[in-house]
Structure 1
């Protein structure tokens, strides 16, 4: 079972599995040429590729889009981000998928209006990934010099390989988690989706 392998072996399997998604691999290769500060490919395109391979589906099945995050806090205007989106969009022209590019330094400016809860400014792309609604989703990868894979997985990879979706109640509200998991379950019924923790559980300090 992949989720029970040592972490270094899980990482080797992860890069092999993600490479089997030709669109994802092309997004990674093209993004690596753009010199976006602190960039990662992240979101559903990663863990859903793993789910597809583990459940014997086509690697790209059901993947809505491919997210490229970067972090640039030098200019937080929409105009600056839009200029990057337009310029970078040309690099992904011709791919049979939608690629969404977003500056995570700006998330706090629109998050509350969109999702109903306030968001403190992120300090990095990694911090933005840390705030995803499920710990299983907290995954980012990029290609660095020499083709080296950089993998950011603050909660490890076992849940991803074991098809377990675990809530991450640090920012996104419960309804976001439940809406996402309901949608994922329709396409991947093999998932084990853990429930949102109760208020009492969240307030109880962990034992030492």
Structure 2
């Protein structure tokens, strides 16, 4: 289903060339592609950006992350979408200031994915040798395919969940959005 989004498959192919440790394309571009296909919309409709996460605890400086971001900017040039690259080993350094709650240091990209505001968002994919897809989905895929958005109150504040789901409901009114506990 994800391969129907040609922008996504191009991002995955190019991302593999960066050879980043623990990388995944993650979150919205994945589940929103599924929602689009299920609801008979163009696969890229409503997708704001493509998130590329990696994990490099060896250098937590902004300069090291910015070097990767700049390399990605050149690599992803010409695509009809924005690719946002982030080192998840650094999130704890800025998360509290941005969202008002502290974030413990992650131990992997998967740990970062596990803390997204909705379990539906907890999804990552990458291309491995031989063109094999590697999928990380700690909560499974039934909610994604069932158009259900379920809160994941492990880190993100309620306001983040509600802002995201309000935007998603406008784009995909078929969604069932469960209330924050």
- TM-score normalised over the length of structure 1: 0.86
Matched, 1:182 2:173: no
Specify the alignment match of 2:59 in structure 1. 75
The superposition leaves residues 24-61 of structure 1 with CA deviations (integer Å, 9 ceiling, x where unpaired) of 00000111111000000001000000000000000000
CA distance in 1, matches of 2:8, 2:48: 12
Residue 159 of structure 2 aligns to a residue in which SS? helix
Note the residue ranges of structure 2 that are not aligned, 5 or more in a row: none
CA RMSD of aligned residues (A): 0.5
Of the candidates 135, 142, 145, which is equivalent to residue 151 of structure 1? 135
Answering whether residue 30 of structure 2 is matched by residue 30 of structure 1, we say no
Deviations 1:35-94, CA, capped at 9 Å, x for gaps:
000000001000000000000000000000000000001110101100110012111111
Q: Which runs of 4+ in 1 moved over 3 A?
A: none
- Unaligned stretches of 5+ residues in structure 1: 1-16, 198-208
Structure 1 CA distance, aligned partners of 2:13 and 2:59? 26
What is the alpha-carbon distance in structure 1 between the residues aligned to residue 28 and residue 12 of structure 2? 14
Matched pairs, number: 181
Alignment of 1:187-198 (within 5 A): 187-197=171-181
Once the two structures are superposed, the pairs formed by residues 9-24 of structure 1 within 5 Å of their partners are: 17-24=1-8
Q: Which has the larger radius of gyration?
A: 1
